[in-house]
Amino acid sequence: MTAIRLLLVDDDPLVRAGLSLMLGGADDIEIVGEAADGDEVESLVDRTRPDVVLMDLRMPTVDGLTATERLRARQEGPQVVVLTTFHADEQVLRALRAGAAGFVLKDTPPAEILAAVRRVAAGDPVLSPTVTRQLVRHAVGTAADTRRTRARTRMAALNDREREVAVAVGRGLSNAEIATGLYMSVATVKTHVSRVLAKLGLNNRVQIALLAYDAGLLDEEPEES
């Protein structure tokens, strides 16, 4: 089994040491580098080629949000998991919109942080629908109407089936659950998800969920079967 290549980014050396000790002991994790500030991230990524970057948001020179935006703007940038001390934080939401695959709190139990890294490396987001909605509602303000209009315009590029899949992704359903609910194979679901990402110019399922929420597609809960 190929180890997951992990880059740690945090301005606190004690936090980095703790994460390195905690995560580096796993058989399937290889710590390939550490950075104390966002301005070091791109050069380290070029040298170490990580699969996942565990990224602190608040750093003195270049913050984690800026570093995340730069990485996700790359053609084949690594996945990013944001480290934060707050559930509902404007910077967390902005990092997710920029393409971060999820976030974990700094006081999260070690096993859960390890599970988050593994999930992101496997292509799954680390964000529940409840937390997604909490973050989006936290950021609702004067720009809410404009954001909804723009989101609906973008979602109009999808056909009916792709739209159904996007809504299911927004509700936090797995590919298998979507397949069961929409009466299609898992392979077909994966194809639809890939098409949704391509048509909307997104790079992960978290961004699909955020856009579906912005467009108002998740306002009504699905009926219980």
C-alpha span between 78 and 5 (Å, rounded): 10
Q: For residue 135, what pLDDT is reported? A: 62
pLDDT exceeds 80 at position 81: yes
C-alpha span between 58 and 65 (Å, rounded): 8
pLDDT exceeds 70 at position 146: yes
Give 25-30 contacts, CB < 8 A, sequence gap 24+: 26/114, 27/1, 27/3, 28/1, 28/3, 28/4, 28/118, 29/3, 29/4, 29/114, 29/117, 30/3, 30/4, 30/5, 30/6
Residue 133 — pLDDT band, cuts 50, 70, 90? low
Q: 31 forms bridges with which residues in the sheet? A: 6
Q: pLDDT tens-digit profile of 45-54?
A: 999 999 999 9
CB 98 within 8 A of CB 68: yes
pLDDT exceeds 70 at position 107: yes
Q: Nearest Cα to 99, choosing from 121, 119, 74? A: 74
Q: For residue 106, what pLDDT is reported? A: 82
Backbone angles phi, psi at 24, to 5 degrees: -70, -15
Q: For residue 225, what pLDDT is reported? A: 39
